[in-house]
Amino acid sequence: MTGPEPAEAGRLLAAARRPVVFTGAGMSAESGVPTFRDAQTGLWQRYDPQELATPAAFRADPALVWGWYEARRRGVRRAEPHPGHRAVAAIVARLPDTVVITQNVDDLHERGGVPAPVRLHGSLFAPRCSACARPAPIPEDATAPEDDAAPGDGVASGDAVAPGGMPAPPDGRVTPPACAGCGAPVRPGVVWFGEALPSAALDAAVGAASGCDLLLTVGTSALVHPAAEIPLVAARLGAPVVQVNPVPTPLDAICAVNLRGPAGEVLPALVCAAWPDADAG
Ligand code: BJW
Ligand code: ZN
């Protein structure tokens, strides 16, 4: 980070008492987890994520959609939090009223030291019945050599072996387990296009954004609603918004400071700028 912006962002963070950290897929990119709108790799490159992440896609081809999420879950399992995740945890440690709101379905904030982020779009680790919503067990991961590949390859590399160690079909499809209660297919515990966000999480996010004195938005394209409105709520009520993203987004215009760079570098530098004595991870 160069120029006056990092110092200004550091001043805003040092002055904050109730910040919100709002994260998207770019937060996990340096851990090797592909962003949602990145090109998919391996078996999945011919599919558009926006078309797979829908209830209609699951109804039409449950094994295709379940196989995609299983491959992504295995990729996330192999990923590790990076210094940006630890910098967010350092902010929470310094300012206990911080609220971390994430659109991500991985668990890297938790493993990076933020115990309970507000999850707007669910989790890869909370499968449930598609009919009766009964929670279902997370399938066991196979321990095959292919699963030792880098997390960024997860979408492709984990595909050679299905959960339970059975060889996966070459097209990546994995039949979802049946619900132990009603026998319907189990589905990923994420929020798909056209589905309502969990109301408790959305209420918590809107409440935090309404009462915050700084909103730090990290690694989101801000294209998906209603999540993309969270920074707008904060800005409308007078809180400064600081954005971390290597490229411009629709949020640029409302941001007090735009820090153009990767989260893993910018966030530790921001914590050091705010609190020079801090261990930024
Ligand atoms: C880095 C980096 C580095 C890279 N460091 N940065 C208003 C207007 C228009 C449309 C709508 C609207 N309201 C609702 C809609 C419809 C729809 C929608 O928003 N569509 C848009 C595409 C136009 N929204 C919905 O359908 C929502 N539901 C809804 O509105 O329901 C209404 C309803 C009410 C009551 C009853 C019933 C219904 C649901 C949205 C659910 C989104 N779900 C997904 C999938 C989750 C599961 C999965 O992962 O498969 O969530 S979609 C996907 O997008 C995922 C993400 O969480 C979300 C946001 O993406 P994100 O995080 O911003 O990632 P990317 O990839 O887009 O961007 C990455 C960014 O990182 C980039 O900017 C990079 O530059 C940056 N980056 N490296 C920092 N190292
Ligand atoms: Zn069921």
Tell me the pLDDT tens digit for each residue of 184-210: 999 999 999 999 999 999 999 999 999
Evaluate if residue 222 carries a pLDDT over 90: yes
pLDDT in tens, 253-276: 999 999 999 999 999 999 999 999
Name the active-site residue from 85, 109, 121, 225. Answer: 121
Pocket of ligand 1 contains residue 249 by CB under 6 Å: yes
Spatial distance between the Cα atoms of 155 and 139, rounded to a whole number of angstroms? 17
Catalytic residue at 121? yes
Average pLDDT rounded to a whole number, residues 57-83: 97
Evaluate if residue 1 carries a pLDDT over 60: no
Q: What is the mean pLDDT of the chain?
A: 91
Average pLDDT rounded to a whole number, residues 118-134: 98
Pocket of ligand 1 contains residue 191 by CB under 6 Å: yes
Chain centroid to Cα 44, Å, comes to 19
Q: For atom 75 of ligand 1, which residue has the closest CA? A: 247
What pTM was estimated for this model as a whole? Answer: 0.93
Query: Which ligand is nearest the CA of 191, by number?
Result: 1
Integer Rg of the chain from CA: 19
Predicted local distance difference test score (pLDDT) of residue 247: 97
Query: Which ligand is nearest the CA of 182, by number?
Result: 2
Spatial distance between the Cα atoms of 135 and 137, rounded to a whole number of angstroms? 7
Please tell me the distance between residue 151's alpha carbon and the centre of ligand 1 in angstroms: 22
Pocket of ligand 1 contains residue 198 by CB under 6 Å: no
Spatial distance between the Cα atoms of 221 and 165, rounded to a whole number of angstroms? 36
Exposure on the CB side of residue 9, measured as CA atoms within 13 A? 26
Contact call for residues 114 and 89 (beta carbons, < 8 A): yes
Predicted local distance difference test score (pLDDT) of residue 255: 98
Evaluate if residue 144 carries a pLDDT over 50: no
Q: Please, which pLDDT band fits residue 143 given cuts at 50, 70 and 90?
A: low
Average pLDDT rounded to a whole number, residues 227-233: 98
Is the dihedral angle over the CA atoms 225, 226, 227, 230 positive or is it negative?
positive
